[in-house]
Every structure is written in structure tokens, then in C-alpha cells.
Structure 1
Amino acid sequence: MGLLVRAMTADDCDAVAAVRIGGWRWAYAGLMPQAYLDAMSVEEDAADQRARLNGTGTTDSRVVNVVAERAGTVVGWGCLGPCRDPDVPDGAGELYALYVGPGHVSTGVGRALARTLVERAAVDGFSSLVLWVLKENDRARRFYEKAGFTPDGAEEPFDVGGALVPEVRYARSLTRAG
């Protein structure tokens, strides 16, 4: 079945939250405290998504949210915007999130989202794109490497429910064509 990548709307918030929480629970099992993953709430996440899209949350107008839809069902979500890291040169963007529903992993959804977001970042004038990935998430690291990202040497701990989980930063240069 065909895959459509399109701009996210407020009507997508529940589906995006389900994809994000399902993605976390699937991808991070064994890498993060299980109690933290179990406590995640689709309802709370959907409310947070709605607040950001409606402008009541804190978000930059340059933030881009896209969804991947197959047969009318949201199966993936990605988000990018200006880089938040102070040690990265001005003009860089950051891939804040890219999640695919567990039943849609390795079906091309992630590749389509990544391609769309990289192209969009280039069109929006970002000179490079960075992202953070769990150091032990080998599957995601291979995925991003195939998408043209490479580790840039930065590492930092990510506090997840009181446990420090190491992350590494990846980066790639962009051209106007992506």
C-alpha cells in the first residue's frame, strides 16, 4: 500500500502520541528503565502535542512536524527545527524525533520520513542537521548512518526517570537539494 508523508495536523495528535509511545516502548526496551516506559501516557503525550501545535506550548515557528500515513492510518512521525545545542554552529537544524509504529519498522516508513525531513531542513535553509540517539541503540544508529549521518564525537547522558542513559550526537551537512 502507498505511503503518504504530509504535514501533521491537530487531528493527528492522538495517533502521533500512540506511535511515539509505542516506538519508545519497542525501541528502548532494555535500554531504559521499564518502569519509565510503562508509565508513559498516550493521553498526556497527545495533550502535549496539541498544545505545541496550537501555539500554547513552547515551540519555535520553524519547527516542522510530519506524519507518515498508510491507508489512512498514521504509522510514523518526525519533527525537526533549529538546533538546541550551543556548541553547534549557527544555521544548524536538529532532528528532534523520528518514530515508526512497531508494526511498521523496516517497511520504508522511517526512510520516507528521514528523506522528507532532510529535504525540508535543506529547503528551510539549515546548513546541517544533527540528532541525538541512544548510544546502545544499534538499530537506530545503523538507520541514521544509512541516511547519511555520522557521529560527531559529542556524547551526553540523558536522564530517564533517574537513570542516566548515554546518547551520542550524529550530524550531516545539507545542500539546497538535501
Structure 2
Amino acid sequence: MSGTRVREMTLDDCARVAEIRVRGWRTAYEGLIPRSYLDGLSVPEDAARRRRTLEQGDGVVVNLVAERDGSVVGWACHGPHRDSEARSGEVELYAIYVHPDVLGQGVGQALLRESADRCAAAGHERMLLWVLKENAPARRFYEKAGFRPDGAEEPFEADGVAVPEVRYARVLTGGGAD
């Protein structure tokens, strides 16, 4: 993890974050999500969406990037738990993606730790996230960081195909990923 710096995302980071996100989807979800869906992902469209989201944001959703040697190599995003009309006080990790060239080098751990630490400092007691049921590497990553499935499942639809997701939860006690 040495040499990794986590900071808040800026508009200047949007293109690189989109590149990491799209490449991350195509790498991590190969064989789990229909190829047609993965092929339809567009870096320019994703970058434009990220820019709009940051420009219109009210600070409730937090976007973080991880840098190494001045280059963005990862991205994470968290905010209020999305499944509840009434705010439960729980927080959700919406996304975390790391450039495939630095997988396994602690970048994801640094992003997750910073997200969890910020959420704990803001008074949140529990963090939730959704992960594809068949994404064994991601599930191991989250379990190593103290997350556990809480029994909730739902399908994510990709080009008409239901892809099952499971929800994970972790009590926030002030520490992020170990």
C-alpha cells in the first residue's frame, strides 16, 4: 500500500475514473454479465455522467480516488443507503474499482479503509454494499475487510439477464479495511 494516497475526486479525475470503472467492469465481470452489456459500456459517456454527478452533487455522496505517483489508480464512492425511503442512518459503499494493473497491491484496501473511516467519523454505525453473487474475488476482498452477507439478495438486470447480487454489511467501529 506504500505510495498510495487517497483524496476526494475532482472534475479533472472524471475521465480517468471512467476508464478505470469501465475496464474494471470488463475485467471483473467477464463471464458473469452478458458480453453485450460489457461491450456497450462507454468511457466518454461514463466520464460525462461522473462530471454531471460531481457538478450537481450536494456533498452527500462521497467520491474518492487513490493515486500513485500522481496517477489515479482507483476509485470508490459511498453515501446514504439507497434501499430505504426513510433514512436509516446506514451508509452504502456504492462502488470500488481499482485499475487491473495494480490489483492486489493494497489500493482497494486503502480506498475501503478511507471510506469506512469517513463514514464512522460521520457517526454511521454500519456500512452496506452489494456484490455480484458469483464474484468470488470481490466477496473474498470484502470478507477479509470484515463484511458479511446479511441475507438480502436481489437481481441486477444486464441486457435482460438477471444477475444475482448479495448484500454485505459491516459494523463500523472506526477502522476501515484491515
Residue 83 of structure 2 aligns to a residue whose secondary structure is coil
Which ranges in structure 2 are unaligned for 5 or more consecutive residues?
Answer: none
Aligned to 1:128: 126
Residue 105 of structure 2 aligns to a residue whose secondary structure is coil
Whether contact under 8 Å (2:127, 2:172) holds in the other structure is yes
* 1:177 CA displacement: 5.2
* 1:176 CA displacement: 4.4
Aligned length: 175
* 1:52 CA displacement: 0.5
Q: Which amino acid aligns with 1:29?
A: E
Q: How does 1:3-14 map to 2 (within 5 A)?
A: 3-14=4-15
Q: 1:126 to 1:19 in 2, by over 3 A?
A: same
Q: Which amino acid aligns with 1:49?
A: R
Q: Say yes or no: does 1:52 pair with 2:53.
A: yes
Aligned to 2:30: 29
Rounded to whole Å, the distance in 1 between the matches of 2:122 and 2:157 is 31
Q: Say yes or no: does 1:164 pair with 2:162.
A: yes
Q: 1:44 to 1:89 in 2, by over 3 A?
A: closer
Task: Please list the CA deviations of residues 47-97 of structure 1 after superposition, one character each: whole Å capped at 9, or x if unmatched.
Answer: 000001001xxx553111100011111110000000011299711000000
Q: 1:6 to 1:148 in 2, by over 3 A?
A: same
Aligned to 1:94: 92
Q: 1:87 to 1:95 in 2, by over 3 A?
A: same
Q: 1:90 to 1:10 in 2, by over 3 A?
A: same
Which ranges in structure 1 are unaligned for 5 or more consecutive residues?
Answer: none
Q: TM-score scaled to structure 1, two decimals?
A: 0.94
After TM superposition, the runs of 4+ consecutive aligned structure 1 residues lying more than 3 A away are none
Q: Which amino acid aligns with 1:163?
A: V
Rounded to whole Å, the distance in 2 between the matches of 1:26 and 1:61 is 30
Rounded to whole Å, the distance in 2 between the matches of 1:31 and 1:88 is 32
Q: 1:163 to 1:88 in 2, by over 3 A?
A: farther
Q: 1:83 aligns with which of 67, 81, 84?
A: 81
Rounded to whole Å, the distance in 2 between the matches of 1:103 and 1:165 is 26
Residue 52 of structure 1 aligns to a residue whose secondary structure is helix
Q: TM-score scaled to structure 2, two decimals?
A: 0.94
Q: Which amino acid aligns with 2:144?
A: K
Aligned to 2:111: 113
Whether contact under 8 Å (2:80, 2:87) holds in the other structure is no
Rounded to whole Å, the distance in 1 between the matches of 2:52 and 2:85 is 29
Q: What fraction of aligned residue pairs are identical, expressed as a percent? A: 58
Whether contact under 8 Å (1:76, 1:110) holds in the other structure is yes
Aligned to 1:153: 151
What do you get for the CA RMSD once the two structures are aligned? 1.6
